[in-house]
Chain A
Amino acid sequence: MTEPKMVTCTIDGRTVTAPEGTLLTDAAKMLGIQIPIFCSHHRLKPLGACRICLIEKEKTGKPVIACAEMVAEGAVFHTQSEMALKARKGIMEYLLVNHPLDCPICDEGGECDLQDTSYEHGIGSSRFVEMKRSFDIVDLGPIVVLDRNRCIVCARCVRYCNDIMGDSALTIEERGFHSQINTRDGGELECQQCGNCIEVCPVGALTSRPYRFKARPWDLKQTETVCNFCSNGCTFHLGRREGTLVRARAKKSHGVNRDFLCARGRYGYEFPTSPERLHFPRIRQGGSLQRAEWSDALGQAVRAIQAARSAGKAVTALASARLSNEDLYLLQRLVREVAASPHLDHRLEQRAPLPGPLLKSLAAFPALPVSAIATLGSALVFGEDVNEEQPLYGTSLLREVHYRRMPVVVAHSRRVRLMQEAASGLPYRPGSELAAARGLLKSLAAHQGAAGPAEEVRKMTAGWSWEALASGSGLTEAQFEKAAATLYSGGSRAIYFGSQALRAAEAPDLVRALIDMALVSGASLVPLWDRSNSQGALDMGVLPDLLPGYEAAPAPGWNTAEILRRSASGEVGVLILAGADPLAHFPDRKLAENALRKADFVLSLDLFETDASEMAHVSLPLRSYAESDGSVTNSERRVQALRSAANPVGESEAGWRIFERLATGLGSAWNYADLLALQEEIRARVPLYKVLGRRMGPAATSWALPGASLPGAQPVGEGKAPAAAAAGTLRVESGNSIFHHGMLSQHNKVQLKLLPGPTLFLAAEDAARLRLAEGDLALLEGPGGKVEARVKIGGPSGPGVGFYPDHFAGAEANRLFGPESPFADIKISTLSAAVHS
């Protein structure tokens, strides 16, 4: 890309130099000059409607709007001249014509742009003496309350919903001074319930129903920390009132997300202060877990580890990738150094976890911040419903598709949201990721010049027949060609892949093909991991074959499946479950049950009672992220600070403190004065993490593995064709839905309103074929067993492929799907028809 031309102009007597095309509002900000805005928003195209940003431009004779005016060489602007102030004051007065002046009772009071700006412009009352418009206040579903009386028709909400989220659930109806926000029919919002409309509303017209009347901003104790759900790592402020978390809110200037949050981030704040949290250590006594003292519980665990070691049995650990880097680092030290065992992992869902060398190759690709999407030339999203699983990436991509028609290729088994709008889609058959990837790789190589990796890949792929690739994936050569052409039509490109690719039965081969694609096309390669700290778990070496910092382990240990298999066959002395519940997440639930039953000793650390914790010998209450200090690393490898926002629940403890106490109990001389001391050690041991520590802010830099060499093209064969779904069944897949994440969110009341329980999403035509209606209770029978679920039409399903989100105890996906593959052909029968009002 060419360097942008720089332009110099003057604002309030000071000169500023900015790239051509910079908006005046941004140029002013560079000088620390704030120009008020209402309708403008950093994610949205300029609208220029509210006119509150009027400033003077010399030689124009009338004021100009700073939100749409661009810097121009030699131009002179005044934001505080008489003309500018008079213009803005006039607009302010107009804005208050129909706006109530009752700030003290408004939910936005104290956080309102309109209030602040009117104060700044010295307006407390209006010369308008007539009756104002008046509307009833209405609920737009479980999340949003609309008070049209306060609306200033800036259209931020409508445009955000449409342009950024792709939902178009809101519109402006009528015109002129009758203009008002509405849904399609005045009823509930039909959308992802992300609540961003509330966030972008500059006044109190859209407010949060869950938060309504809960607190006033000044009663809240607010702490900035990082969302614990997906690996986007959004920064938010958790607001606490009298010991309870009452809201999560992002701030424009903070974090990778700035002011964006998805529904689960925004409404997932309840579980840390849920009354269901575990409060005390428990020890198994006579078949059940009984409350115990910490010292006794830890003592039992220490003795169990000692016993295992002296019996020559394995000490193993499975960790949750929601734990902090500090927790994870110390867990691996405990297992490796104190228990002298190489057997640990954090990947529970993956059927074929990636081997160390492959992970190292991925880490050698330069990190790519999510903000880079705004300037990417093109993108490929492979095996990831990016809007459902990684909403920040999803909306960032969608925005570019909407605003500059960025060429995007989406490869997924379902016609996911982004695919519907992308220039090119590769809707492969469920389970045929590998064939699809190889087809695309072959096309990509065919397009590129003679030399380099493309030549190698061309040789490798020469023998692959289009017939086999096509029948293997359900796609055509022309589709692959179009996808390749689309990816090549932009300048800089990036390839994203996620959970569907990672959970595939042939994930390692698939990732090899993706690496080859990136090398051939010169694209960045970005894995979108499942959990908030999956990246940290890799970096900290919570893996059987990599030490912290991607150093190969001298003697590789067992991965999750092996640990459970060995345990089931009686080889495991101790199984530590650090926030991990293999019963809920490991694909083979029966094996997991056996493993827990057969392990000599199971130590569970968790926030809630889970099926696994109830099978443990000792259960310890773990602090949640919201009560913890530490760090997590997101998918762009940004190391971000967790800060405790709530008081610890009961006697719960931080993970790293528990591991430290176990280690000292086992005779180690560990002694961390505080978290900083631990972070200092991590910095020293893991050079990638030199950013970790005292000064780590929300904008801590991301890291890249230095000097690692990229692997060459991997010689691999063609993919296999999955057979068509059996008659009378529906092929169904699982994953995270936008309303929940993993199992934690089932403790959140608001999220339960959005998706109350086990649900089967399917396309309308499939519902018709299977004689199912929205709201029906259905029995689903799959290779893993049976579950009951409500039927919902649409959602993240696609024609011919249903979706079963995995969030609810008692109906986990692994009770339905077999261990073999992440999709299955499910028999569905109606248990009771929906009750229609």
Chain B
Amino acid sequence: MNDIVFKGIDTPNLRQLAVYEANGGYAAVRKALKDIKPDELIEMVKQSGLRGRGGAGFPTGMKWSFVPKVSAEPKYVVVNADESEPGTFKDRELMEKNPHQLLEGIILAAWAIGSHKSFIYIRGEFAHIAKILEAAALEAEARGYLGKNIFGSGFDLDLVIHRGAGAYICGEETALLDSLEGFRGQPRLKPPFPAVKGLYGGPTIVNNVETLSFVPFIVNEGPAAFRKFGTEKSPGTKIFSVSGPVKKPGNYELPLGTPLRKLLEEICGGMLGGHELLAVIPGGSSVPVWNKDYLDVPLDFESVAAKGSLLGSGGVIVMSSKTSMVAATLNLTRFYRHESCGKCTPCREGTYWMEKVLGRIHRGLGMPGDLELLLDLCSTLEGRSFCALGDAAAMPVRSSILMFRDEYEARIREAAGGKTPETAGSR
């Protein structure tokens, strides 16, 4: 556990450059700027098999290789530090405790694609973490590790830490770019993809904090060392953020392919007293929910997908028998309704409508046919919305009806007089 990005994460004062460096920090950048050509670096990342940790699992080396070598417009590295997927809180710990590791990853990415300007787009609520990053960047710059002529290599990289202001959709990479450009944070049409035409029209890579934090290790130890962990198609480790009524919730870095049972029962110490496992959302709120029959699924991109859900951001949300699934689904639907950017019809209107229907079921005012209506609304949303938020909104609804239909039907059957259940998870 905690083999790569979380290695030594609790070292006192790791935020300080000197401490980070004493623990082997900035060796990767020194080495790369001197001895590794950008193309070779991209090749290394490709070979490592590193996949994006932001949710989509796209191969990072491949993404970098899409950036044109020559470009009339400047190129950019943009770090997605929006961390707004419910159930996910790993990037926060990475930045809070080990900001230089991220900076190192950024410099390496910039070197690989030939960028001289980079941005960390951090969610607005993380004001305190933005300050930590600012301090780290200032220290690095003062030492010549960032800014002009890094390590005397002649390579320049300017870094701007940019705070969002409260909008989940700005985690979606193109909405993030619009937000960073000063527009309403709404997704852009793709193609063109950011790697070709991104920030200010220039080739841009957008990577998650965790993704970039892996890069120094890959440079230092080589792709093979990374591949020692995980599975063939999902190599390496990944941080899982566990929340809900387990004994030891928190972030854990585990090799991909670790079974869910091991994570919940061994590492998190099982359920809190008085709670019995009911359901798990394995990859942040935007993926289908499982009932307790899925504990033996290995947590890697392929295995989770094969079992009808997604690994997503690795935010594992645990629910116990004390939770009403109707209420939990309503809670998430309200979240998506609140966070829908409003650009496209199905998401804007669909989340609104679904919340209304779920709300009436929850309040004991459900009507026969409501479940069919909900499933129908999911079908007209899934694959029809502009961006993946629409799909994300449909998934909890469809999957929870699929897995916990009895509870829904019972509530509709009982429907008489609008009694709101005590169960948490609604408002």
Q: Per the CB under 8 Å rule, do A and B touch in the complex?
A: yes
**Given A49-B343, A127-B373, A172-B184; A179-B385 close (CB under 8 Å):** no
State A130–B377 Cα separation when bound (angstroms).
15
Query: Is A91 at the interface (CB under 8 A from chain B)?
Result: yes
State A179–B344 Cα separation when bound (angstroms).
11
Quick one: CB contact mask for A53-68 with B, threshold 8 Å, 1 for yes? Answer: 0100000011100001
Query: Is A469 at the interface (CB under 8 A from chain B)?
Result: no
State A175–B343 Cα separation when bound (angstroms).
8
Which residue of the partner chain, among A48, A62, A63, A128, contacts B386 with CB atoms under 8 Å? A48
Minimum CB–CB distance for A150 against chain B, Å? 14
Query: Is A672 at the interface (CB under 8 A from chain B)?
Result: no
Minimum CB–CB distance for B190 against chain A, Å? 9
Tell which of B38-46, B128-136, B350-358 binds the partner.
Answer: B350-358
State A617–B370 Cα separation when bound (angstroms).
83
State A54–B345 Cα separation when bound (angstroms).
12
Of all chain B residues, the one with the shortest Cβ separation from A50 is: B345
Tell which of A94-102, A185-193, A788-796 binds the partner.
Answer: A94-102
Quick one: CB contact mask for A148-162 with B, threshold 8 Å, 1 for yes? Answer: 000011010000000
Contact B349 A175 (CB under 8 A): no
| Residues of A21-52 contacting chain B, CB below 8 A | 46-52
State A46–B343 Cα separation when bound (angstroms).
13
Inter-chain contacts of A50 with B (CB < 8 A)? 344-345
Contact B349 A95 (CB under 8 A): yes
Query: Is B383 at the interface (CB under 8 A from chain A)?
Result: yes
Minimum CB–CB distance for B176 against chain A, Å? 15
State A97–B344 Cα separation when bound (angstroms).
14
Minimum CB–CB distance for B167 against chain A, Å? 7
Inter-chain contacts of B373 with A (CB < 8 A)? 127
Minimum CB–CB distance for B340 against chain A, Å? 4
Minimum CB–CB distance for A67 against chain B, Å? 10
Inter-chain contacts of B384 with A (CB < 8 A)? 51, 54, 62-63, 87, 90-91
Task: Give the number of A-B contacts (CB < 8 Å).
Answer: 90
Query: Is A174 at the interface (CB under 8 A from chain B)?
Result: yes
**Given A91-B380, A179-B348; A97-B341 close (CB under 8 Å):** no
Which residue of the partner chain, among B342, B351, B380, B383, contacts A179 with CB atoms under 8 Å? B342
State A799–B353 Cα separation when bound (angstroms).
53
Query: Is A178 at the interface (CB under 8 A from chain B)?
Result: yes
Query: Is B413 at the interface (CB under 8 A from chain A)?
Result: no
Contact B345 A152 (CB under 8 A): yes
Minimum CB–CB distance for B177 against chain A, Å? 16
Q: Is the interface of A mostly helix, strand, loop or mixed?
A: loop
Query: Is A176 at the interface (CB under 8 A from chain B)?
Result: yes
Contact B348 A87 (CB under 8 A): no
Minimum CB–CB distance for B193 against chain A, Å? 14
Query: Is B337 at the interface (CB under 8 A from chain A)?
Result: yes
Contact B386 A153 (CB under 8 A): no
State A62–B346 Cα separation when bound (angstroms).
14
Query: Is B23 at the interface (CB under 8 A from chain A)?
Result: no
Query: Is B379 at the interface (CB under 8 A from chain A)?
Result: yes
**Given A130-B356, A172-B184, A176-B337; A49-B344 close (CB under 8 Å):** yes
Minimum CB–CB distance for B347 against chain A, Å? 8
Query: Is A177 at the interface (CB under 8 A from chain B)?
Result: yes
Inter-chain contacts of A49 with B (CB < 8 A)? 343-345, 386
**Given A48-B189, A63-B384, A94-B380; A177-B348 close (CB under 8 Å):** yes
Contact B342 A94 (CB under 8 A): no
Inter-chain contacts of B139 with A (CB < 8 A)? none
**Given A51-B385, A95-B345; A90-B380 close (CB under 8 Å):** yes
Minimum CB–CB distance for B375 against chain A, Å? 12
**Given A50-B344, A90-B346, A152-B345; A176-B339 close (CB under 8 Å):** yes
Query: Is A93 at the interface (CB under 8 A from chain B)?
Result: yes
9 pairs from A and B in contact (CB 8 Å cutoff): A51-B386, A52-B345, A90-B384, A91-B345, A91-B346, A175-B167, A175-B340, A176-B337, A177-B351
Instruction: Enumerate the 7 nearest inter-chain pairs by beta-carbon distance, A residue then B residue, closest first.
Output: A90-B380, A179-B342, A62-B383, A94-B349, A176-B340, A177-B352, A97-B349
Interface residue ranges, A against B (CB under 8 Å): 46-52, 54, 61-63, 68, 86-87, 90-91, 93-95, 97-98, 127-128, 130, 152-153, 155, 172, 174-179
List 14 additional A-B contacts (Cβ < 8 Å) besides A63-B383, A175-B340: A48-B386, A61-B383, A63-B384, A90-B384, A94-B350, A94-B353, A98-B349, A128-B356, A155-B343, A175-B341, A176-B338, A176-B342, A177-B337, A179-B342
